[in-house]
Amino acid sequence: MDQTQYFHYEHPFELESGAVLPSLTIAYHTFGEMNSRRDNIVWVCHALTANSDVAEWWQHTVEEGKFLDPARHFTICANFLGSCYGTTGPLSINPETGEPYYDSFPLITVRDMVRCHRLLAEHLGIKRVKLLIGSSIGGYQCCEWIIQQPDFAENLVLIATLSHVTPWAIAFNESQRMAIESDAEFGQHRPDAAMKGLAAARSIALLSYRGQQAYDKTQDDPDARTKLIGLRATTYQRYQGEKLCRRFNVYSYYTLTRAIDSHNIARGREATENELLASIRARTAVIAISTDLLFPKEQICEMARHIPGARYHLIDSDFGHDGFLIEHQKLNTIILDLLDRRD
């Protein structure tokens, strides 16, 4: 069903921080039909500012012959906790005040997001999936989920992601939050507050998503020898910032960047990160993008080395971290090969 569905969990939900949400609403999309054997289920975990409508943001994937082919698979994607696309987050009503939470929404973590996904899976009667797949922050969720629930997935695909957040990524997140905090409207209780701060944060993020090769390839200005201002790269940054402001909320953005800062599958657990990776039983493909600045290929390759039987793939792309959104044909070849393997 390619329209938003909702699961209402009418029980207190304790967060990892100790704060308690009195109830939860989880927004999700499904595509295709679950077969009678219930062995064609694919669960997609989405990235930072995406939503549960996979067909909208991951183009050429929910199509005939692709790895999310609705004639072959039953695909589900849930909007994660803290976002602004229907799942409980800063724009939800705080029952104690009768007003949206805004900046009073409690601290959340990737583990909290995964626990919400698991509540939805239980509600839908899903105990195991054919494929668990995620890219970027979606991959963070997949890493955490397969540790929390080792038998949940037969196949696991981790794209442009890691089992822990790096200081480099945290620094980008903090720089974005600093940009938001510099907007005098941040803290005002209205959904359109601090749009200038959010636009600046998006501009910072884009530098990590694309990198020099992508900018030099797509934003080179043929009139650069005659212009003093208004060069293509400057207008592109402003356009992308304004574009995000039209579809996202600053309090969700701030909440989510804080949530991912603490991602580490070994945090608070007795086993080391490598020991936890070695415990993964799902048949796994790990995919890196050659020019990804945010998740360098060397680190992703090292993670793959610790997952038993994992196949590491490097996609050659000029588009940096955003390659996972653009190189859909290369991804399709890798993922279909994984799903069709008999070993």
Q: Which of 145-149, 225-229, 280-284, 325-329 has the lowest mean pLDDT?
A: 225-229
Mean pLDDT of 283-304: 98
pLDDT on residue 342: 62
Query: Is pLDDT at 237 greater than 60 in this prediction?
Result: yes
Mean pLDDT of 163-184: 98
Mean pLDDT of 43-72: 96
Give the tokens for residue 182. Answer: 């510099």
Using only C-alpha atoms, the chain has a radius of gyration, in whole angstroms, of 20
Domain ranges of the chain: 5-165+263-340, 169-260
Overall pTM surpassing 0.85 (yes/no) = yes
pLDDT on residue 225: 75
SS3 letters for the chain? CCCCEEEEECCCEECCCCCEECCEEEEEEEECCCCCCCCCEEEEECCCCCCCCHHHHCCCCCCCCCCCCCCCCEEEEECCCCCCCCCCCCCCEECCCCEECHHHCCCCCHHHHHHHHHHHHHHCCCCCEEEEEEECHHHHHHHHHHHHCCCCEEEEEEECCCCECCHHHHHHHHHHHHHHHCCCCCCCCCCCCCHHHHHHHHHHHHHHHHCHHHHHHHCCCCCCCCCCCCCHHHHHHHHHHHHHHCCCCHHHHHHHHHHHHCCECCCCCCCCHHHHHHCCCCEEEEEEECCCCCCCHHHHHHHHHCCCCCEEEEECCCCHHHHHHHCHHHHHHHHHHHHHCCC
Mean pLDDT of 240-256: 98
Query: Which residues are known catalytic residues?
Result: 136, 292, 321
Look over the chain and give the mean of its residue pLDDT values, rounded to a whole number: 96
Mean pLDDT of 199-208: 97
Cα(37)–Cα(213) distance, integer angstroms: 46
Cα(176)–Cα(186) distance, integer angstroms: 13
pLDDT on residue 221: 83
Give the model's confidence band at 230: pLDDT under 50 very low, under 70 low, under 90 confident, else very high. Answer: confident
Note the pLDDT tens digit of each residue in 113-156: 999 999 999 999 999 999 999 999 999 999 999 999 999 999 99
According to CATH, the topology of domain 5-165+263-340 is: Rossmann fold (3.40.50)
pLDDT on residue 343: 57
The correct answer on CATH 1.10.1740.110 for the domain covering 169-260 is: yes
pLDDT on residue 228: 76
Closest-CA residue to 307 (of 341, 338, 273) = 273
Give the model's confidence band at 192: pLDDT under 50 very low, under 70 low, under 90 confident, else very high. Answer: very high
The vertex-224 CA angle with 219 and 230, nearest 5°, equals: 75
Give the model's confidence band at 231: pLDDT under 50 very low, under 70 low, under 90 confident, else very high. Answer: confident
- Please, what sign has the CA dihedral across residues 206, 3, 139, 315? negative
- The answer to whether 264 and 273 have CB atoms below 8 angstroms apart is yes
pLDDT on residue 229: 80
More confident residue, 50 or 340: 50
Give the model's confidence band at 260: pLDDT under 50 very low, under 70 low, under 90 confident, else very high. Answer: very high
pLDDT on residue 27: 98
